[in-house]
C-alpha cells in the first residue's frame, strides 16, 4: 500500500478477531475490493456455503463499508463460488484439487467478468473464500488472479492439552475454551469462532483433550459433549478426535486387564468406537500417549506399541477412523541417552502397524526445545506413515509473554534433510507421504489457545497458530512470507508497519535460542514449570530430568557427546548425515553442543573460543530483545493503543527475563568453567545462589 498517512485505529482492539479483522481499507484499496465483489453468487446450498458467503459479506463490508448482495444470476464483477455440480460451464478444471483445495481465477462466466472460486466441495470453496479475503486484507491486487491450491498433508490438526477440569497443560492463555461442564446444552459463540479461525488457515481437525487423558472423556456424557462440538465444527470442515487413556476399559468397566491381545479388551474398544461413531458419524479417531511419562500402555503387558495401536485401529477401522500413536516415549529404567529411546522402540516396529495407524513424532528427539535437530525417526521408518507434532504453545520458548515467532522453527524442521533416500529427502517429504508413497499423512500442533480474550495469551502468539496452519496446508511456504501475511492482516498492510514487525518476528526465535540455549544446548530450564533457567539442577529422581544430564558442563568443557565415543545417537541418522555430525567441525554450529562435548577453548567459526562464544550468544539474545523494544516503540503511531501497550509491556517482561536467563546461565557455567568473561561482557547482576533460590510455585500451565 502506498499510503503515507496511516491513521491509528480509533476503536479498541482486543485481539479477539485474530487475523480476521477486516478493517476499513483506504480509498484506492477499498474501491478495488468493491469492484471485484459487486455481488456474491454461490451456486448451491449448504451450511458450509452459507458460512463462506457470510464471511465474504462480512469481510467485504468491513473493508469497504458496503455489504455486497447475494445474487442468483451472474453479473459483472461478481465473486462466484461454484463446484462442478453447478449448472454453469466452469472455465477452470478442478482435477487435482482434492476434497479441500480450490482454484481462484479472474475469468469470464456467462459473458461476464467475474472472480471464480472453484472447488470440488463446499469446504474447498470455503478455503478459497478465505484465500480471497486474505489477499484483500493484505492489500494484494485482486486483478488477474490465477491461483490453485490444495494441501499435500491430509490431517492438519490441533492437539489440545485441555483437561476436563478446565485447566490446560502447558497452556498460557487462560483456561480451556471447552466448557465441558455446560456442554452439550450450552454451545457458546467461541466454538464457531474457533472453527472459523481454523478453517481460515486450513486446519481440518482437533483433538479435544490432553494426551495425558482421563478415561472419563470416553463416558457417555462426555461423548455427547464432544458430539456437540463436532456439530459446530462440521460445516467448517473440522473433525474431532479424542485422546484416550490406555486403561480406560479397566477404569470405566472393571475389566481385569488392558492387554491389547485380550479379546475382551478388543471387544470393549470396538463397542466404544461404535458408541462414539453413533454420536459423531465423522469422528476422526484416537490419539494415544502410551508407556510414556507414567501413562499406561501395551508394554505393561509385554506387548509392543504396534500391538496396542493395531488393536485400537481395528476398532475404528469399520468407521473410517484412524489412530495416531505417539512416539514420545522414554523409560525410567532405560539408561540409554533419552534422545535415542523413541527410535530404539519404534524403528524395529516399522512395517508392523495397521494401515490406519500413523505414528506421531515430535519435531525433535527430546521435547520441543528452543532448538533441536530433527527427530531421527523421520526417514527411518519408510513403511510407516509418520506425522509431525509441533508445539505451538510455548512451553520452552517464553510461555505467554516472549515474542518468539515459531515460523522459523517449523520451517527449519520441515526443510531439514534426512538423506533417507539421498539428498533432498526432507522432513516435509516424509510427512507429506511423497518420499515413500504414503496416503495417510498428518501434522499436529499442540494448541496455544485458551479463554483469554486474544485466544493465545498475546497478539504475537496468534502468529504461531497462524503459521502452523499455513505451513500445514503448504509446507513450502516460507516463515517470512507467512509473517508478512499475518502482520498485514493483524496490523495493517502498510509497509511502515509490516517491514519492522516481520523483521522483529523473524529473528525472535533465534534470539530466544541465544538467551536460553545457545550453540545446541537443551533442557536447561527449571524443573516442573519449565519457566526460567535451571542449568544447575541435578537432584531429580530420574537422570534425564536433570539439566546437568543434558549439558554435562565441567571444568574441561560442555556438551553431550552423541558421537560414537558417546551415546552414538548420531548413528540413528542416515549415513551421509551421520558422517557430518560425527565431527564437530562439520556439525552445524547451532547444533554443536547437542552432538559434541567440547573443551572450553574449542575454536568456533567466529574465531572465539567456545566459552567466549557462548557468552556472546547470550549477550546477542538479550540485545535482540532490546532492539525489538526500540522497534516496537517506533510503531506507536501506527498501532491501536491496546495492542501496542500489551506488546510493549510483554517486551519489557521478555527483556527482563532474557537478561535473567543470560545472567543465571553465565553465573552457573562460570562457576564450572572458572573462566573470565570476554571483554565487553557484563558480570551477572547477582551471584549464582540468588538465581538458584528463585521459586515459582504458581507458574501457569504446570499440572
Site for ligand BDP, rule CB under 6 A: 169-170, 211-212, 289, 293, 328, 367-368, 395
- Three-class SS state of 443: strand
- Shortest approach of ligand BDP to residue 700 CB, angstroms? 12
- Three-class SS state of 322: strand
Q: Which C-beta is closer to ligand BDP: that of 132 or that of 390?
A: 390
- Shortest approach of ligand BDP to residue 368 CB, angstroms? 5
> With the C-alpha atoms ordered 364, 366, 369, 372, is the resulting torsion angle positive or negative?
negative
Q: How far apart are CA 523 and CA 403, in angstroms?
A: 20
| Cβ pair 435, 381 in contact under 8 A | no
Residue 389 appears among annotated catalytic residues: no
Q: What is the dihedral of CA 6, 10, 15, 17, to 10 degrees?
A: -90
- E strand segments, 13-161: 39-42, 69-70, 79-82, 102-109, 112-118, 146-149, 155-159
Residue 367 appears among annotated catalytic residues: yes
Q: Which C-beta is closer to ligand BDP: that of 213 or that of 666?
A: 213
Q: Which C-beta is closer to ligand BDP: that of 55 or that of 372?
A: 372
- Name the residue whose CB lies closest to ligand BDP: 367
Q: Which C-beta is closer to ligand BDP: that of 389 or that of 514?
A: 389
Q: Which C-beta is closer to ligand BDP: that of 498 or that of 521?
A: 521
Give the residue among 126, 283, 282 at the shortest CA–CA distance from 201: 126
- Shortest approach of ligand BDP to residue 590 CB, angstroms? 21
Q: How far apart are CA 672 and CA 6, in angstroms?
A: 54
Chain-centre distance for alpha carbon 654:
21
Number of DSSP helices (H) and strands (E) in the chain, helices first: 20, 16
Residues facing residue 577 across a β-bridge: none
DSSP string, 184-211: TT---HHHHHHHHHHHHTT--EEE-S-S
- Shortest approach of ligand BDP to residue 370 CB, angstroms? 13
Q: Which C-beta is closer to ligand BDP: that of 552 or that of 702?
A: 702
Q: State the catalytic residue, choosing from 162, 169, 345, 395.
A: 395
- Shortest approach of ligand BDP to residue 295 CB, angstroms? 8
> With the C-alpha atoms ordered 333, 336, 341, 346, is the resulting torsion angle positive or negative?
negative
∠ CA 171-172-174, rounded to 5°: 90
Q: Which C-beta is closer to ligand BDP: that of 170 or that of 429?
A: 170
- Shortest approach of ligand BDP to residue 471 CB, angstroms? 20
Residues facing residue 323 across a β-bridge: 286, 357
Peptide bond into 184 cis (omega under 30): yes
- Shortest approach of ligand BDP to residue 543 CB, angstroms? 17
Q: State the catalytic residue, choosing from 293, 554, 601, 687.
A: 293
Q: How far apart are CA 180 and CA 178, in angstroms?
A: 5
Residue 293 appears among annotated catalytic residues: yes
| Cβ pair 105, 118 in contact under 8 A | yes
Q: State the catalytic residue, choosing from 17, 367, 454, 619.
A: 367
Cell of 223: 461423548
| Cβ pair 130, 489 in contact under 8 A | no
Kindly list the catalytic residues. 293, 367, 395
Amino acid at each position: 500500500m502506498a499510503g503515507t498517512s496511516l491513521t491509528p485505529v480509533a476503536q479498541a482492539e482486543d485481539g479477539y478477531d485474530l487475523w480476521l479483522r477486516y478493517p476499513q481499507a483506504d480509498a484506492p484499496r477499498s474501491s478495488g475490493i468493491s469492484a471485484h465483489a459487486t455481488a456474491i453468487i454461490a451456486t448451491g446450498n449448504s451450511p458450509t456455503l452459507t458460512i463462506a458467503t457470510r464471511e465474504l459479506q462480512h469481510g467485504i463490508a468491513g473493508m469497504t463499508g458496503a455489504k455486497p448482495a447475494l445474487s442468483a444470476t451472474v453479473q459483472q464483477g461478481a465473486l462466484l463460488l461454484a463446484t462442478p455440480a453447478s449448472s454453469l460451464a466452469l472455465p477452470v478444471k478442478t482435477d487435482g484439487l482434492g476434497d479441500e483445495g480450490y482454484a481462484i481465477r479472474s475469468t469470464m462466466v456467462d459473458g461476464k467478468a467475474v472472480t471464480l472460486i472453484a472447488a470440488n466441495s463446499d469446504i474447498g470453496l470455503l478455503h478459497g473464500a478465505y484465500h480471497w479475503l486474505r489477499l484483500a486484507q493484505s492489500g494484494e491486487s485482486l486483478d488477474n488472479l490465477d491461483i490453485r491450491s490444495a494441501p499435500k498433508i491430509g490431517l492438519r490438526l490441533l492437539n489440545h492439552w485441555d483437561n476436563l477440569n478446565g485447566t490446560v497443560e502447558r497452556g498460557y492463555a487462560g483456561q480451556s475454551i471447552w466448557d465441558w461442564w455446560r456442554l452439550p446444552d450450552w454451545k457458546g459463540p467461541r466454538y464457531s469462532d474457533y472453527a472459523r479461525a481454523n478453517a481460515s488457515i486450513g486446519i481440518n481437525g482437533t483433538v479435544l483433550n490432553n494426551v495425558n487423558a482421563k478415561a472419563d472423556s470416553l463416558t457417555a456424557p462426555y461423548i455427547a459433549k464432544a458430539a456437540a462440538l463436532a456439530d459446530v465444527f462440521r460445516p467448517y470442515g473440522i473433525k474431532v478426535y479424542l485422546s484416550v487413556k490406555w486403561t480406560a476399559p479397566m477404569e470405566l468397566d472393571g475389566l481385569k486387564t488392558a492387554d491389547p491381545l485380550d479379546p475382551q479388551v478388543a471387544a470393549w474398544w470396538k463397542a466404544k468406537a461404535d458408541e462414539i461413531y453413533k454420536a459423531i458419524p465423522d469422528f476422526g479417531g484416537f490419539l494415544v500417549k502410551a508407556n510414556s511419562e507414567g501413562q499406561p500402555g501395551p508394554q505393561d503387558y509385554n506387548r509392543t506399541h504396534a500391538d496396542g495401536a493395531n488393536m485400537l485401529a481395528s476398532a475404528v477401522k469399520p468407521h473410517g477412523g484412524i489412530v495416531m500413536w505417539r512416539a514420545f516415549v522414554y523409560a525410567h529404567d532405560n539408561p540409554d541417552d533419552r534422545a535415542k529411546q523413541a527410535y530404539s522402540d519404534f524403528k524395529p516396529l516399522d512395517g508392523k502397524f495397521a494401515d490406519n495407524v500413523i505414528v506421531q513424532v515430535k519435531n525433535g528427539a527430546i521435547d520441543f526445545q528452543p532448538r533441536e535437530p530433527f527427530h531421527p525417526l523421520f526417514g527411518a521408518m519408510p513403511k510407516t506413515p509418520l506425522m509431525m507434532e509441533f508445539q505451538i504453545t510455548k512451553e520452552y520458548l517464553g510461555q505467554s509473554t516472549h515474542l518468539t515467532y515459531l515460523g522459523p522453527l517449523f520451517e527449519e524442521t520441515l526443510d531439514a534433510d534426512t538423506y533417507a533416500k539421498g539428498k533432498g529427502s526432507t522432513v516435509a517429504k516424509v510427512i507429506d507421504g511423497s518420499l515413500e508413497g504414503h496416503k495417510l499423512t498428518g501434522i499436529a500442533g499442540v494448541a496455544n489457545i485458551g479463554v483469554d480474550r486474544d485466544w493465545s495469551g498475546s497478539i504475537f502468539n496468534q502468529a504461531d497458530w497462524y503459521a502452523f496452519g499455513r505451513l500445514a496446508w503448504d509446507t513450502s511456504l516460507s516463515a517470512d512470507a507467512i509473517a508478512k501475511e499475518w502482520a498485514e492482516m493483524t496490523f495493517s498492510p502498510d509497509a511502515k508497519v509490516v517491514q519492522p514487525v516481520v523483521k522483529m518476528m523473524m529473528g525472535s526465535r533465534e534470539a530466544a535460542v541465544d538467551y536460553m540455549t545457545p550453540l545446541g544446548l537443551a533442557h536447561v530450564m527449571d524443573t516442573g514449570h519449565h519457566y526460567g533457567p535451571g542449568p544447575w539442577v541435578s537432584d531429580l529422581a530420574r537422570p534425564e530430568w536433570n539439566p546437568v544430564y543434558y549439558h554435562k558442563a565441567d571444568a574441561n568443557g560442555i556438551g553431550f557427546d552423541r558421537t560414537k565415543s558417546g551415546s552414538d545417537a548420531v548413528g540413528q541418522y542416515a549415513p551421509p548425515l551421520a558422517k557430518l555430525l560425527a565431527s564437530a567441525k562439520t556439525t552445524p554450529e547451532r547444533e554443536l553442543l547437542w552432538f559434541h562435548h567440547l573443551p572450553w577453548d574449542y575454536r568456533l567459526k567466529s574465531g572465539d573460543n567456545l566459552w567466549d562464544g557462548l557468552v556472546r550468544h547470550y549477550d546477542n539474545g538479550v540485545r535482540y530483545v532490546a532492539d525489538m523494544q526500540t522497534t516496537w516503540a517506533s510503531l506507536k503511531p501506527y498501532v491501536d493503543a491496546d495492542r501496542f501497550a500489551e506488546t510493549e509491556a510483554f517486551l519489557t517482561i521478555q527483556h527482563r527475563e532474557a537478561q535473567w536467563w543470560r545472567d543465571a546461565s553465565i553465573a552457573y557455567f562460570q562457576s564450572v568453567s572458572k573462566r573470565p568473561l570476554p571483554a565487553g561482557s557484563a558480570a551477572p547482576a547477582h551471584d549464582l545462589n540468588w538465581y538458584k533460590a528463585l521459586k515459582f510455585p504458581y507458574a501457569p500451565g504446570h499440572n
